[in-house]
Amino acid sequence: MSLRRGAGPAPIVVDRREEAEIALAREIIALVQERRRVVIGLATGSTPAGVYREIARLRAEERIDFGAVETFNLDEYLDLPRDHAHTFARWTRERFHAPLGISSERAHCPPSDDYESQIRDAGGIDLQILGIGRNGHIAFNEPGSTRESRTREVELHAWTREDAAAAFGGLESVPHRAMTMGVATILEARKLRVLAFGPRKVEIMKRVLEDPIGPEIPATFLREHRDLVLWLDREAAARI
């Protein structure tokens, strides 16, 4: 692997994505076993799904109590009915909160007018799970999002809507707007754990790691974080 320009730790490249999923699931389980009251930031999308499956499996095997865990979802589509099949709130309830027995009062989701103060009141996010969009977005911080951005409403980028089209049964059904934690909100999490898998992420991961840090590729800001772990599989790391 060649050396990257700019700050940031070297990514961990795994042969199979399951290795990263298991490592992150075990880290989260260990945090919960140690402290019980842990605040976790949740990403959605195809990337973190295996991590949630693995946490649910380990938790059932080892009987770990997630009852005091609190979570904050990164983002949410706007203009969908609250219980629409494609809300991220529903996605995380089915894959994370329900299997782990986390009550809805502890499962915070945008949209919300006071999301930033809810995060502060919870003591801040201990560990934030993140995937990366094909255009370098984190959560729905699309290209152009600044280092100082906070939780807000955003317009979705054309690629983001295209990538969601299959799930929604057609581009015309994909919302145009969303609410997302900002880049500053995300960088305040004490630990950032980032995953990128598969050939679709190869071009963007090269830019995330090698381009100058800035709003053009919001994921480049992750390189400024002091406790970042980035896992890539061989396919996503092919050009690094």
**Residues carrying an active site annotation:** 75, 135, 137, 142
- Using alpha carbons only, what angle is made at residue 239 by residues 233 and 240, rounded to the nearest 5 degrees? 75
The answer to whether the beta carbons of residues 23 and 231 sit under 8 Å apart is yes
By CB under 6 A, is residue 160 in contact with ligand GLP? Answer: yes
CA 80/CA 9 separation, integer angstroms: 38
Q: Scanning residues 70 to 99, which ones bind ligand GLP (CB under 6 A)? A: 74-75
Q: How far is CA 31 from the centre of its chain?
A: 18
* Number of residues forming the site for ligand GLP (CB under 6 A): 13
Q: Name the burial class of residue 115, with classes exposed (0-12), middle (13-18) and buried (19+) by CB atoms within 10 angstroms of its CB.
A: buried
By CB under 6 A, is residue 183 in contact with ligand GLP? Answer: no
By CB under 6 A, is residue 185 in contact with ligand GLP? Answer: no
Pick the stretch among 40-48, 61-69, 215-223, 231-239 that binds ligand GLP (CB under 6 A).
Answer: 40-48
Instruction: Record the tokens describing residue 34, joined without a space.
Output: 């140690």
> Phi then psi for 52, rounded to 5 degrees?
-65, -40
Which of 45, 99, 111, 175 binds ligand GLP (CB under 6 A)? It is 45
Instruction: Record the tokens describing residue 117, joined without a space.
Output: 């103060």
CB of 3 to ligand GLP, least distance (A): 26
Which of 41, 50, 131, 215 binds ligand GLP (CB under 6 A)? It is 131
Helix axes 17-35, 49-62, angle to 10 degrees: 50
The answer to whether the beta carbons of residues 174 and 152 sit under 8 Å apart is no
Tell me the H-state helices in the chain.
Answer: 17-35, 49-62, 88-92, 98-100, 115-121, 158-168, 183-187, 202-210
By CB under 6 A, is residue 129 in contact with ligand GLP? Answer: no
Task: Report the residue number, 18 or 65, with the smaller CB distance to ligand GLP.
Answer: 18
Task: Report the residue number, 67 or 199, with the smaller CB distance to ligand GLP.
Answer: 199
CB of 47 to ligand GLP, least distance (A): 3
CB of 56 to ligand GLP, least distance (A): 18
CB of 163 to ligand GLP, least distance (A): 7
Pick the stretch among 7-15, 94-102, 129-137, 185-193 that binds ligand GLP (CB under 6 A).
Answer: 129-137
CA 201/CA 135 separation, integer angstroms: 9
By CB under 6 A, is residue 218 in contact with ligand GLP? Answer: no
Task: Report the residue number, 64 or 149, with the smaller CB distance to ligand GLP.
Answer: 149
> Where on the chain is the footprint of ligand GLP (CB under 6 A)?
43-47, 74-75, 131-133, 139-140, 160
